[in-house]
A and B are shown apart, each in its own frame.
Chain A
């Protein structure tokens, strides 16, 4: 049973797992992940409250990205990769055999470390490509969907006169906002972000952070970041993942409000990491 696998004492401050997660909320329960025979993540459990930002922090290679790639079933796309545990979104297990992985990915959007627009497609086509593929327009005009998504991503004013220009004509920060517009155009309920600002300059970074703050009126966000200050600025809750010894799988060792994790962490390992003493 998942509850037994969780070993409650292992994670400091971990809230009780909720079987009836609120609408738009995410619960990861007893998640372990492997690449072939190598176990990279062990027994991770946490709850990301709806319309809030939850940050995952931790040293390189601790499995943060693998955890969020399990949340929209991208991990299983890697040959030989597998996972164990449950991911409940809106109270339903996205790994239920009856659930289609493609529909999960249209519900749960992802923004990656480096902007990855389709280089040969236009700004407009990049924005609506998810809507076209998932056929989620529901009779709405694609142009309206694009305009709304680009507005939300704070990109509209900069691109409205050149929607047919290729996406690669944009700057890095604009391309990343385009990727966010593409992700939110399909109106996902949950947005995953894997170090979305690590390739951006400070101005573009602040623009994305402001955007993250704004979209939480509608979306639940889980963000992986190496930037401690960014985690304190954008997130409400923070989980700290780490590897105790080289070669061991990454574990979530402390989870709490962001103020608590960065203000008064309970574990010395968390304190050492957030204050830059190790990692």
Chain B
């Protein structure tokens, strides 16, 4: 892979302004990744702890995430408009812009989870919540590992993390079937269980977007379009 131009560190050379703007976009995307990672973890924490304040913090924190996403889009637009980037520069800008959109949608899923968590704090728990907790742990790990791969520009790890999406899909199907059984047996669990099925659904969507980010990273670094989903 070392001979692939896209994976070479790019010297600023004659383009110090372009390079500074690319570096700025990259650090803005990394900042957004940290915000989104925290939103997902806090949403699941609020659900586990039945803590409405934590849930509200996630919901209100989405404004800052949307704002960061908008800033990244503006910066990408500006650098395309003014610097006529090509090759690896152009791929990175397109890749960053797409990654930022995926991250913003992941945060929206975290907000949806927080809303469910906040509206179900007083409802009786379902008998078995361990599988959902395990799924959340798996998805959070997927998010953390992928964001580390983006930071390190590590396409091998990105592919590896994307491959683990199958585990999340299996967990989701199992949780869906389990909750259906529990609700069928005891109708009083329906409200909380329905909420938790949606939580599992949003977690599954977050993991899908992790895979999309892997595809964006591979495109940005190598120019290759791969379908990892």
Chain A residues at the B interface, C-beta cutoff of 8 Å: 228-229, 232, 262-268, 270-272, 274-278
For residue B84, CB closer than 8 A to chain A, the reply is yes
- Docked-complex contact B4 and A277, CB < 8 angstroms: no
Segment of B87-95, B119-127, B151-159, B167-175 engaged in the interface with chain A: B87-95
Chain B residues at the A interface, C-beta cutoff of 8 Å: 3-6, 8, 10-15, 18, 84-91, 222-224
Tell which of A232, A267, A277 has the most Cβ of chain B within 10 Å: A277
- Docked-complex contact A264 and B6, CB < 8 angstroms: yes
**Chief secondary structure at chain A's binding surface:** helix
Beyond known contacts A264-B5, A270-B87, A271-B10: 20 more, CB 8 A cutoff: A228-B84, A229-B84, A262-B86, A263-B91, A264-B6, A264-B87, A264-B88, A264-B91, A264-B224, A265-B87, A266-B4, A268-B3, A268-B5, A271-B87, A272-B11, A275-B88, A276-B13, A277-B13, A277-B14, A278-B14
How far does the alpha carbon of A199 sit from the alpha carbon of B91 in the complex, in Å?
A: 31
A82 CB → nearest B CB, Å: 35
Contacts of B223 in A (CB 8 A): 263-264
Tell which of A270, A275, A277 has the most Cβ of chain B within 10 Å: A275
Contacts of B222 in A (CB 8 A): 264
- Docked-complex contact A275 and B89, CB < 8 angstroms: yes
How far does the alpha carbon of A146 sit from the alpha carbon of B39 in the complex, in Å?
A: 71
The 7 listed contacts between A and B (C-beta, < 8 Å) are A263-B90, A265-B5, A267-B3, A267-B5, A268-B8, A275-B88, A277-B14
CB closest chain-A residue, reference B222: A264
- Docked-complex contact A263 and B5, CB < 8 angstroms: no
